[in-house]
Chains A and B, each alone.
Chain A
Amino acid sequence: MAQSQNSPLATPLADRHAALGARIVEFGGWLMPLQYTGIIEEHRAVRSRAGLFDLSHMGELFVEGPEAAKALSYALTTDPTSLKVGRAHYSMICFPEGGVLDDLIVYRLGDERFMVVANASNAGAVSDALAARLDGFRVVLDDRSLATALVAIQGPRSAGILARLTDVALDELRYYAIADGRAAGIPALVARTGYTGEDGFEVFCDVAVAGTVWDALLETGKADGVVPVGLGARDTLRLEAGMPLYGNELGRDTTPFDAGLGRVVVLSKEGDFVGRAALERARAEGPRKKLVGLVVRGRGIARHGYEVFAGDRRVGTVTSGTQSPTLGEPIAMAYVTPSEAEPGTIIDVDIRDQRVPAEVVPLPFYKRPV
């Protein structure tokens, strides 16, 4: 839907971002804030206090009906029939050949009601694929992406801030759970999910009232030092947390197994699902490449697309990389041949024609303090 537009869409919070002096970029068909005061400052705010994100560009697809769970089990790699009401899980929708079409979060809102959240850049493709796959099941697909706003608050102080504004009992809301209630007086779905590696919440509400929720969180959170955070810091945060980004770590040419995410492929579930045969083969054969974490041990930053070598042999490619604000070192994710994937392996990254050593490390790079 968003993809068929010629010019990028503005989120319902566009005027807020302008007033806050955000630098705006185009992303996935939307005009989004890249940064407000600066990527590193915003990143650090989320790690130490709290940050507010406008994620209204994401896709929200509602699937409702007596066969909703069964239909989604056919369409996706996970088994939504096993999800309890009020719980969520990370999932993927794969092509028949086993490559990834998108990574998703599936929330169970009721026995017969689910919300599937897709990446902004794939929302249209996921909507189309779901429509095709759900055909024949007793379900209705309701793509409410353009009617749904999403405001996320992430960071150690986020629970304290949101608690002042919601009737949802946050101390009873576990990680990967979702509840129906109000936020800032607005009807909202409150989920304890996020893409930063910190404690945090994602608040789904109607686009018409998104501003009320945003303003209230920003105002109430002032005392705790909340700041608005853009896509720049969203990327550095998720990279430190070892989370994949579709288009970098995930794509049509990767299987969930390549990315080390075989846990989302529930081959033991009942019935066929799109990609089953190819994914069973892929699992049996083992991955042709493995996603690893790298810390650059020489001078330089490894970035998306840079080549990885073991001696003279090309062994892989960097998928994402940056200078880690928390670690103070250059970190990256890369696909490498399985023989080079063992933590402790030293490989070379080609940075502007210089071979710079990097060490394979386990993911994630950062885990929040318990």
Chain B
Amino acid sequence: MVPNDLRYTKEHEWVRIEGDLATVGITEYAAEQLGDIVFVELPDLGRSVTQFAAVGVIESVKAVSDLFAPVGGEVVETNAELADKPELLNSDPMGQGWMLRIKVADRAQVDRLLDPAAYEALTSEA
């Protein structure tokens, strides 16, 4: 079961909305699919991002994957731990492996995200 207080993207990002702050990470499903993660590239603080645009990179041993912004806005915080400990994305993708925080520009964009049931359905089809 996926956490109920979150929303999801088709590209397997999760997002927690608290007020106008969105915390973003990748799901356990994504981490499992990627395998051992060895490198994470996050956007610079202050960068303006567009919903669903590629804003960073997650590298596993064998492949390079894009990180997509679930909502548009300004990047206000990134998880500094991931530079030295990219493996947090495998061990705790939903908690300590959070990746960045965005100050949400338009709350209505959240409606374009998948709710837990829809994300559950997406990953069980795969």
Contact = CB atoms under 8 A, between A and B. Distances in A.
A39 B57 contact: no
A38 B57 contact: no
B117 to A, nearest CB: 27
A38 B38 CA distance: 12
Interface centre among B36, B41, B57, B59 (most CB of A within 10 A): B36
Contact of A301 (B39, B87, B90): B39
A47 interface: no
A236 interface: yes
B61 interface: yes
Contacts of B64: 303
Interface residues of B, number: 13
Given A232-B62, A303-B64, A323 B38 contact: yes
Contacts of A323: 38-39, 59, 61
A352 interface: yes
B43 interface: no
A38 B39 contact: no
B35 interface: yes
B38 A301 contact: yes
Contact of A40 (B41, B57, B59, B61): B61
Contacts of A299: 83
Interface in B75-97: 83, 87, 90
Interface in A25-84: 34-35, 38-41
Interface in B17-59: 35-36, 38-39, 41, 57, 59
Given A39-B61, A39-B62, A40-B61, A232 B38 contact: no
Contacts of A41: 36
B30 to A, nearest CB: 15
Interface in A218-272: 232, 235-236
A232 B61 contact: yes
A330 B61 CA distance: 10
A25 B17 CA distance: 38
Contacts of A3: none
Given A232-B62, A322-B61, A300 B39 contact: yes
Given A232-B61, A301-B59, A39 B36 contact: yes
Contacts of B36: 38-41
Contacts of A322: 38, 61-62
25 contacts: A34-B62, A35-B35, A38-B35, A39-B35, A39-B36, A40-B36, A40-B38, A40-B61, A41-B36, A232-B35, A232-B61, A232-B62, A235-B62, A236-B61, A299-B83, A300-B39, A300-B41, A301-B38, A301-B39, A301-B59, A303-B64, A322-B38, A323-B39, A323-B61, A352-B41
Nearest first, the 8 A-B pairs at minimum CB distance are: A323-B38, A40-B36, A39-B61, A39-B36, A38-B36, A301-B39, A301-B59, A322-B61
Interface of A: 23, 34-35, 38-41, 232, 235-236, 299-301, 303, 322-323, 330, 352
Given A23-B35, A301-B39, 16 more contacts: A34-B62, A38-B35, A40-B38, A40-B87, A232-B35, A232-B61, A300-B39, A300-B41, A301-B38, A301-B59, A303-B64, A322-B61, A323-B38, A323-B39, A323-B59, A352-B41
